[in-house]
C-alpha cells in the first residue's frame, strides 16, 4: 500500500507540465527547487525554506496536497502561489527522508492522499525553527520564517528581526543614495518607483523596530 501511495505521489509531480493555465506560478516558489544557475547552496536554502513551511503546516494537522497549496497561498497571498509541479516532488523527497508519511483518506467525492508529519519530521521542524542564517532575513526567507514564528525561541526571533532590520537599513541607504544622485534625464517613473521603494522600506524598518522592542520585553 505504501509503495502504491509513493507511486501516486510521484505521478502527481508531473501533472503540472501539461496544464500551464492550472499550475502557472507568478513568483519565486517555482525557483525553490528549480533555481537554475544560482548555485547548489542557494538551491539547498530555497528547498529548505519550502520544507520548513510544509513541515510547519503539517505540524498543525494532516493535510492533502490541494489543502497544503491552498494554505500556502493563504499565508503568502494569491501572487505567491505554489505550483503543484514543485509541491509534489518536494513532498516525495520529504517522504523518502522519513519526515512525513502518507495514507489514503476517503472524502465525499474521492479518495485523496493525506500527508502526516512524523516524529522525525517534528524534530526536523524544531531544528529548522532554531536555525538562523543570513538567508533568514532576506525577503523570501523572512516571510516564511515569520509565518511560523511561534515555535521559534524569543532569542532567535529577536536575532531574525534584527537581521531583517539591518538588511532593510542597507537597502534604504542604497535607495536614498540613488535618489540623491539621480542623473539628468532619468525616467521620472523610475525615480518615482525608487521613492516608493524607499518609503516602503522605511515603513518596514519602523515596524521592525516596534517588533524588536515588543520581543525584548
- Half-sphere exposure in the Cβ direction for 179 (13 Å, CA): 16
Q: Are 136 and 142 spatial neighbours (Cβ–Cβ below 8 Å)?
A: yes
Tens of pLDDT, residues 155-174: 999 999 999 999 999 999 99
From the list 199, 217, 192, 201, the residue with the least C-alpha distance to 164 is 201
**pLDDT over 60 at 186, yes or no:** yes
pLDDT confidence tier of residue 205, bands split at 50, 70 and 90: very high
pLDDT per position as a tens digit, 116-167: 999 999 999 999 999 998 888 988 789 889 999 998 999 999 999 999 999 9
- Predicted local confidence at residue 20, as pLDDT: 33
Beta carbons of 51 and 128 less than 8 angstroms apart: yes
Per-residue model confidence (pLDDT) at position 77? 72
Write down the residue that cell numbers 513532498 correspond to.
Answer: 91
Q: Helix or strand or coil: residue 39?
A: coil
pLDDT attached to residue 18: 32
pTM: 0.75
- Each residue's pLDDT tens digit, 62-96: 999 999 999 988 877 766 667 888 899 999 999 99
- Which residue do the cell numbers 489514503 mark? 104
Query: What whole-number distance in Å separates Cα of residue 85 and Cα of residue 23?
Result: 7
Sequence-distant contacts of 62-71: CB under 8 A, at least 24 apart: 62/114, 62/115, 62/116, 62/117, 63/114, 63/115, 64/105, 64/112, 64/113, 64/114, 64/115, 65/12, 65/91, 65/112, 65/113, 65/115, 66/112, 68/115
Average pLDDT rounded to a whole number, residues 175-201: 88
CATH number of 2-130: 1.10.10.10
In angstroms, how far is the first alpha carbon of the chain from the final one? 52
Amino acid at each position: 500500500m505504501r509503495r502504491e501511495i509513493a507511486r501516486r505521489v510521484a505521478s502527481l509531480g508531473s501533472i503540472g507540465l501539461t496544464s500551464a493555465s492550472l499550475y502557472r506560478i507568478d513568483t519565486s516558489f517555482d525557483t525553490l527547487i528549480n533555481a537554475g544557475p544560482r548555485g547548489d547552496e542557494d538551491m539547498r536554502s530555497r528547498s529548505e525554506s519550502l520544507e520548513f513551511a510544509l513541515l510547519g503546516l503539517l505540524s498543525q494537522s494532516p493535510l492533502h496536497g490541494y489543502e497544503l497549496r491552498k494554505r500556502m497561498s493563504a499565508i503568502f497571498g494569491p501572487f505567491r502561489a505554489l505550483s503543484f509541479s514543485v509541491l509534489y516532488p518536494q513532498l516525495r523527497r520529504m517522504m523518502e527522508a522519513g519526515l512525513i508519511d502518507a495514507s489514503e483518506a476517503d472524502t465525499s467525492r474521492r479518495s485523496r492522499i493525506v500527508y502526516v508529519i512524523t516524529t522525525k519530521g517534528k524534530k526536523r521542524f524544531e531544528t529548522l525553527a532554531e536555525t538562523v542564517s543570513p538567508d533568514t532575513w532576506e525577503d523570501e526567507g523572512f516571510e516564511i520564517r515569520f509565518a511560523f514564528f511561534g515555535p521559534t525561541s524569543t532569542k532567535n526571533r529577536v536575532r531574525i528581526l534584527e537581521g531583517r532590520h539591518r538588511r532593510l537599513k542597507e537597502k534604504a541607504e542604497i535607495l536614498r543614495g540613488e535618489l540623491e544622485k539621480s542623473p539628468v534625464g532619468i525616467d521620472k517613473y523610475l525615480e518615482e518607483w525608487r521613492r516608493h521603494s524607499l518609503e516602503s522600506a522605511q515603513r518596514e524598518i519602523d515596524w521592525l523596530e516596534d517588533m524588536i522592542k515588543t520581543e525584548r520585553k
